[in-house]
Chains A and B, each alone.
Chain A
Amino acid sequence: MSQSTATRTRPPAPPPPASPGSRRPVWPRRLWLATCYAILVPGAILFVAPFAWLVSASFQHMGDIFSWPPQWIPKNPTLDGYRGFFGIGEAGEHAQGSEGAWRWFLNSAFVATSVTVLQLFFNALAAYTFAKRRFPGRDIIFLLFLATMMVPPQVTLIPNYLVLKHIPFFGGNDALGNGGHGWLDSYWGLILPGAVSAFGIFLLRQYMMSIPDELLDAARIDGAGEFRVFWRVVLPLCTPALAATAIFTFTYAWEDFLWPLIVISSSDKFTAPLGLALFVVKNRTSWNLLMAGSVVATLPMIVAFLVFQRRFIQGISMSGLKG
C-alpha cells in the first residue's frame, strides 16, 4: 500500500520507460508475443475469409462458383458478374430483372448524402441552441429529445408508414391526404424522417458545451447575428465532432434496410441493400451477379473506412465514452 502511494505521489510524472518489459527477461516476453500472433493471425484469416470468398466469387463464372472444392483464386477470371449485374453488353442481356441496377447505387448515394447533409445541419442548429442559448422551455424540450432516444424505431415504423401515405398533395393525394400513396415510394419518404437524430443532437451538444462563451460574445459584439455566430464560429470549431457523426450517419443511411423495404415499392427507387436483398429472393439462380453487386455495395464503405479510419474510431470511442 505504502509503496503504491509512493509511486502515485512521486513528483512530476516520470518519463515512461522506453520499453515497459525491458526489466524482465526477454524470452518469456518473446514467447508471449509469439502466442499473440499465433491467436491473432489465424483469427484474422477466419474473419476475412467470407469476405475474400465474396470478392473471389464475384470474378467467377456461374459454374465455377458451384465448383467443389471451392476455388479461392478464380481459374478463369471474368467480369461477367459485374457486366450482368449492371446490364452491360452480352452478359447483361441474359440477366433477368437487373436492368437499372446501377440506379440502386445512385439512389443509395443520393439518399445517404441527403440524409447526412440535412442531419448535420439540423442537428448542429438544435445542438447549438440547446448548448448556448437561453430561452423558456429549453430544458423541457431537450429532455423530451433525450427521452425519445430510448424509443426503438420499430414502434414508430407503422404509424410513420401511415403518415407518409397520407401526406397531402403528394403522390396523388388530395388536401386531406386521401386517394393516393403520398410520400410512400418516393425519395421524400426515404429522406425526411431521418433528417434529425436525437442521438446526433446529444453528441454535438456535449461537444459544443466546451466552446467558451466569451468567443461567441466577442463575435456578437463585432455585430454578428445569431446565425452568423453559429455558421462562422461554432461550426468550424466542431469539425471533429461533425466529421465523426457524418461518417456514422452516412454508413447507417447507406446500410439501412427495414425502412426502404417498407417505403419503396418500385425498382427504380430501390437502394442498394434493398435491391440486393430482393435480388436474392427473386433471382435465386444468378449468384455471380449477386456477388458482384455485393462487392460494389461494400466498396464505398470500405473506402470510406480506410480513408477516415482515425475519425471513425475516434467517433466510436467518443460515443462509447459519453453515450
Chain B
Amino acid sequence: MWRERSAYAFLAPGLIVFSVFTVFALLFAFYLTFREWNILEPEKPFVGLENYRDMVQDEDFRRSIINTAYFTGASVPLGMAIGLGVALLLNQPIRGRGLLRTLYFLPTVTPFVVSAIVWKWLYNGDFGLFNFYLLKTHLISEPLVWLSNKNLAMPAVVLMSVWASVGFSMVVYLAALQAVPEQLYESARLDGAGPWARFRYVTLPMLAPSTLFLAVMGIIGSFQVFTQIYVMTGGGPVNRTTTMVYYIYEAAFKFYDMGYASTLAYGLFVLLLVFTAFQLRLYRKADL
C-alpha cells in the first residue's frame, strides 16, 4: 500500500509542473480564444467566435501561412538532401572523416541567435561577404540588398537555416548508414546490382525510418521558425518573411491581443497535427 502511494509521490513534481504549464495552459488558451483579452485593459469581454472569424479573414495571417509553407518546403528537403549526400560521402573509408564530420556539424552546435547575427552581416548590402564574392566573380553586377529585397529575403533566410540544419540530418543518416548490414550489399552485388541499384534498392529503403524522423522533426521545427526572422528581417520586407510564429508573437506582445493570438496559436496547432498525421499515413502506405 505504501509502495503504491510512493509511486504518486515520485510522479508529483512532474505532474504538478505538467498540469500547470501544459494541461492548464492548453485549456486556458482555448478559453482565451473566445475573449478579447488585452492585458492593458481591465475589461476582457466575451466575443464568441469573433476571433475565429477574424482569423479566417485575416489577409496577413494567410500571408504568414504561405511564408511558413515556403520556408518549410524549401529548407526541410534541402537540408535533408544535403545531409544525406554528406553522410553518404562520409560513410566511405576516407581519412579525416572525424574532422570533416565535426566541421559539417559546427553550424548545428552554434547557437541560433549567433548564426542569425553572423548571416545578417554576411548578407549586408554594403560590406557583406556575399556581395563581395559575387561581385568579384561577376555573378552579379551591382550589390544586392538581400534581406530588404522582397524576393530575396526568404531565400536568404532559407539558405541560412539549411546551413544550420545539415549537420543534424547528416549525423542521423550516418548512424543509420552504419547500421545497414554489410551482407545486404554483398548479396545485392552477387545479384548483379550496380552502385545505383544498390543505393536505390538497399540503402534508401534502409534509411526510410530516419527519413521519416527527419521529415517530421524538420517540419515541426520549421513551422515554429522564429529566431532567424526576429534577428535577421523582423518579418519584413512588406511581410514577406513574417512566419506564423512571428505573427503570433506580434499579435500577443506587440499589440497585446492575447485572445486573438491564442486563436492563431490554435490554428498553428491544428495545421501541425493535420500535417503530421498526413505524413505518417503517407509513410505507412509507402511502406506496404
B230 — nearest CB in chain A belongs to which residue?
A277
B146 interfacial by beta-carbon distance below 8 Å: no
In the complex with contacts A50-B119, A155-B266, A302-B109 CB distance below 8 A: yes
A163 lies within 8 A of B118 (CB): no
Stretch at the interface among A66-74, A89-97, A169-177, A235-243: A66-74
B128 — nearest CB in chain A belongs to which residue?
A70
Contacts of A53 in B (CB 8 A): 118, 122, 129
Picked from B24, B86, B132, B269, the residue with its CB within 8 Å of the CB of A159 is B24
A122 lies within 8 A of B269 (CB): no
B106 lies within 8 A of A302 (CB): yes
- Rounded to whole angstroms, the CA-CA distance of A151 and B126 in the bound complex is 42
1/0 per residue B77-106: CB within 8 Å of A? 000000001100110111000001011111
Contact residues, B1-46 vs A (CB, 8 A)? 3-4, 6-8, 10-11, 13-15, 17-18, 20-26, 28-29, 32, 39
A294 interfacial by beta-carbon distance below 8 Å: yes
B272 interfacial by beta-carbon distance below 8 Å: yes
In the complex with contacts A122-B17, A226-B3, A226-B10, A151-B112 CB distance below 8 A: no
* Main secondary structure on B side of the interface with A: helix
B203 interfacial by beta-carbon distance below 8 Å: no
A148 — nearest CB in chain B belongs to which residue?
B22
B231 interfacial by beta-carbon distance below 8 Å: yes
B121 interfacial by beta-carbon distance below 8 Å: yes
Contacts of A255 in B (CB 8 A): 111-113
Contact residues, B159-212 vs A (CB, 8 A)? 163, 166, 168, 171-172, 175-176, 182-183, 186-188, 190-191, 209-210
Stretch at the interface among A34-42, A79-87, A206-214: A34-42
A193 lies within 8 A of B14 (CB): no
B253 interfacial by beta-carbon distance below 8 Å: yes
A123 lies within 8 A of B14 (CB): yes
A272 — nearest CB in chain B belongs to which residue?
B111
B21 lies within 8 A of A317 (CB): no
1/0 per residue B107-138: CB within 8 Å of A? 10111111111111110001101001000100
Contacts of A257 in B (CB 8 A): 112-113, 226-227, 230
- Rounded to whole angstroms, the CA-CA distance of A298 and B116 in the bound complex is 12
B261 lies within 8 A of A158 (CB): yes
B252 interfacial by beta-carbon distance below 8 Å: yes
The residue in B94, B168, B266 that gathers the most chain A C-beta atoms within 10 A of its C-beta is B94
* Main secondary structure on A side of the interface with B: helix
- Rounded to whole angstroms, the CA-CA distance of A304 and B266 in the bound complex is 37
A246 interfacial by beta-carbon distance below 8 Å: no
- Rounded to whole angstroms, the CA-CA distance of A251 and B10 in the bound complex is 26
A148 lies within 8 A of B18 (CB): yes
Picked from A36, A49, A159, A302, the residue with its CB within 8 Å of the CB of B32 is A159
In the complex with contacts A43-B104, A54-B118, A257-B226, A196-B13 CB distance below 8 A: yes
A44 lies within 8 A of B28 (CB): no
B273 interfacial by beta-carbon distance below 8 Å: yes
Contacts of B8 in A (CB 8 A): 135
Picked from A3, A291, A301, A305, the residue with its CB within 8 Å of the CB of B187 is A3
Contacts of B266 in A (CB 8 A): 155
In the complex with contacts A152-B223, A163-B24, A196-B17 CB distance below 8 A: yes
- Rounded to whole angstroms, the CA-CA distance of A66 and B127 in the bound complex is 6
B258 interfacial by beta-carbon distance below 8 Å: yes
B89 lies within 8 A of A36 (CB): yes
Closest Cβ of chain B to A10, distance in Å, is: 9
A interface residue numbers (CB < 8 A to B)? 1, 3-4, 7-8, 16, 19-20, 32-33, 36-37, 39-41, 43-44, 47-51, 53-54, 57, 65-66, 68-70, 122-123, 125-126, 128-129, 133-136, 138, 141, 144-145, 148, 150-163, 165, 192-193, 195-196, 198, 201, 225-227, 230, 251, 254-255, 257-258, 261-262, 272-274, 276-277, 280, 287, 290-291, 294, 297-298, 301-302, 304-306, 309, 313, 316-317, 320-321, 323
- Please provide the 4 A-B residue pairs with the shortest distance between their CB atoms, ordered closest to farther: A317-B175, A4-B187, A156-B25, A273-B113
A47-B104, A255-B111 known; 11 new pairs, CB 8 Å cut-off, are: A8-B187, A39-B85, A70-B129, A136-B4, A152-B272, A154-B265, A159-B26, A163-B20, A276-B117, A305-B105, A316-B172
B interface residue numbers (CB < 8 A to A)? 3-4, 6-8, 10-11, 13-15, 17-18, 20-26, 28-29, 32, 39, 85-86, 89-90, 92-94, 100, 102-107, 109-122, 126-127, 129, 132, 136, 163, 166, 168, 171-172, 175-176, 182-183, 186-188, 190-191, 209-210, 213-214, 217, 220, 223-224, 226-227, 230-231, 245, 248-249, 252-253, 258, 261-262, 265-266, 268-269, 272-273, 276
Please list 17 pairs of residues, one from A and one from B, whose beta carbons are closer than 8 Å in the complex, sorted by A's number.
A3-B187, A7-B187, A20-B182, A40-B100, A125-B14, A135-B4, A148-B18, A148-B26, A159-B32, A165-B39, A192-B21, A257-B113, A258-B245, A272-B111, A280-B231, A316-B171, A320-B176
